[in-house]
Amino acid sequence: MKTTTRYIFFGVTALLVCLALLPHGVSAKDPINKTFFGNKAAKGYDPVAYFTDGKPVEGKKEFEYE
């Protein structure tokens, strides 16, 4: 191969690899914590308690985040 042809080949190959690594379907999507029945991610329960207490514990209203 000629040097110029080789540079073009590697340039196109690098471009195709970069395009293949781009995230697919980049768009604004609904947050994953929305459910069919409401917008509560943990449905009122403390998600940390599953790890610290090993059981579900109801969350407190003053720590609510929307």
Q: Give per-residue pLDDT as tens, 14-27.
A: 888 877 777 665 55
**What are the per-10-residue average pLDDT scores of the chain (66 residues)?**
82 85 62 59 78 86 75
Q: What is the pLDDT of residue 58?
A: 87
Q: How far is CA 12 from CA 1, 2, 7, 25, 28, in A?
A: 15, 15, 9, 23, 30
Query: pTM of this prediction?
Result: 0.35
Encoded tokens for 42: 């943990």
Cα 20 from chain centroid? 18
Phi, psi of 37 (to 5 degrees): -100, -5
User: Domain residues of the chain, as ranges?
Assistant: 3-63
Q: Is the dihedral of CA 61, 62, 63, 66 positive or negative?
A: positive
